[in-house]
Structure 1
Amino acid sequence: MITSEVIPYLCGRELLSRENIVDGEVRVFDASRRNQNFRVINQGGRSLFVKQGTKIHGSSSTAREAAVYSILEADDHSHVPFPYAPRLIDYNPDDDILILELIDDAVNLREKYHESRYLQVQSAAAVGEALGALHMKTSLPTVLRRLGRSEPGVLEVDRPGLALLSDFSGSSIDLIRMVQSSADLIVHLDEMRQDWRNETLIHHDIRMDNIIQSSLHGTSEILIVDWETASAGDPAWDVGAAVADYLGLWIQSIPVTGTQSPEKLIHLADFPLSEVQESIAALWRAYARRSEMSADMQIEFMPRVARFCGLKLVQSAIEMVQNSAHWNLTAVTHMQVAANMMGRPQEAVQALLCLDVAS
Structure 2
Amino acid sequence: MLLPLSSQSVIQYLQAIGLCSLEDGNSDLSDVPGSSKKNFNLLVTLGNRRQLLVKQEHHQDNDGNLHEFFNEWLFHQLLKQFPVLGNIAAIASLVVHYDEENSILVRNYLSEYQELGNFYQHSYSFPTEIATAIGTTIAGLHRTTFQRREYRDFMATAPAGQYRYNFYNPAQGIESLTPAIFGAVPKSAWQFYTFYQRYESLEYAIADLASEWKPCCLTHNDLKLHNILLHSRWDKLDNCLVRLIDWEACAWGDPVYDLGTLIASYLKIWLSSLVVDSMLELEESLQLAMIPLAEIQPSLLALIQAYLKAFPAILEHRPDFVERVIQFAGLGIIHQIQDKIKYQQQFDNTDMCALQVAQNLLTIPEKSVNNVFGVTASEIIAPMAKQHHLTQPQKSPKLVPLYYEKTRLRGC
Give your verdict on TM over 0.5.
Answer: yes
> Counterpart of 1:348?
368
Q: Is residue 24 of structure 2 the alignment partner of residue 27 of structure 1? A: no
133, 141, 145: which one aligns with 2:153: 141
1:197-231 alpha-carbon deviations (Å, 9 max, x no partner) = 22222222221122222359974122222222222
CA distance in 2, matches of 1:40, 1:199: 38
CA distance in 1, matches of 2:231, 2:167: 31
1:307-356 alpha-carbon deviations (Å, 9 max, x no partner) = 11111111123334446776322211211111112112122223432351
> Counterpart of 2:405?
none
Deviation at 1:122, TM superposition (A): 1.8
Deviation at 1:47, TM superposition (A): 0.9
> Counterpart of 1:327?
347
Secondary structure of the residue that 1:141 maps to in structure 2?
helix
Secondary structure of the residue that 1:85 maps to in structure 2?
coil
Deviation at 1:50, TM superposition (A): 0.9
Q: Is residue 134 of structure 2 the alignment partner of residue 127 of structure 1? A: yes
1:249-306 alpha-carbon deviations (Å, 9 max, x no partner) = 1222222234323422444423222221111111101211222436555742111111
191, 194, 212: which one aligns with 1:195: 212
5 Å matches for 1:193-232? 193-215=210-232, 219-232=239-252
Secondary structure of the residue that 2:44 maps to in structure 1?
strand
Deviation at 1:185, TM superposition (A): 1.1
For the 8 Å contact 2:52–2:106, the answer to whether it is kept is: yes
Q: Where do 5+ consecutive residues of structure 2 fail to align? A: 146-150, 159-163, 385-412
CA distance in 2, matches of 1:91, 1:330: 41
Secondary structure of the residue that 1:4 maps to in structure 2?
coil
Secondary structure of the residue that 2:243 maps to in structure 1?
strand
5 Å matches for 1:68-79? 68-75=75-82, 78=85
Deviation at 1:174, TM superposition (A): 2.9
> Counterpart of 2:10?
6
Residue 312 of structure 1 aligns to which amino acid in structure 2?
Answer: G
Task: Compute the TM-score of the two structures, normalised by the length of structure 1.
Answer: 0.87
245, 261, 264: which one aligns with 1:244: 264
Q: Where do 5+ consecutive residues of structure 1 fail to align? A: none
Residue 323 of structure 2 aligns to which amino acid in structure 1?
Answer: P
For the 8 Å contact 1:318–1:331, the answer to whether it is kept is: no
Distance 1:265 1:94, change over 3 A: closer
CA distance in 1, matches of 2:314, 2:126: 28
Q: Which range moves more in the overlay, 49-58 or 99-108?
A: 49-58
Q: Which range moves more in the overlay, 39-48 or 70-79?
A: 70-79
Deviation at 1:87, TM superposition (A): 1.8
CA distance in 2, matches of 1:68, 1:304: 26
Task: Compute the TM-score of the two structures, normalised by the length of structure 2.
Answer: 0.77
> Counterpart of 1:337?
357
5 Å matches for 1:275-286? 275-286=295-306
CA distance in 1, matches of 2:173, 2:365: 19
CA distance in 2, matches of 1:281, 1:29: 38
Residue 217 of structure 2 aligns to which amino acid in structure 1?
Answer: T
Distance 1:296 1:126, change over 3 A: same
Q: Percent identity?
A: 23
Residue 142 of structure 2 aligns to which amino acid in structure 1?
Answer: H
CA distance in 2, matches of 1:226, 1:216: 22
For the 8 Å contact 1:168–1:322, the answer to whether it is kept is: yes
Secondary structure of the residue that 2:172 maps to in structure 1?
helix
Secondary structure of the residue that 1:156 maps to in structure 2?
coil
Q: What is the count of residue pairs matched by the alignment?
A: 355
CA distance in 2, matches of 1:233, 1:215: 31
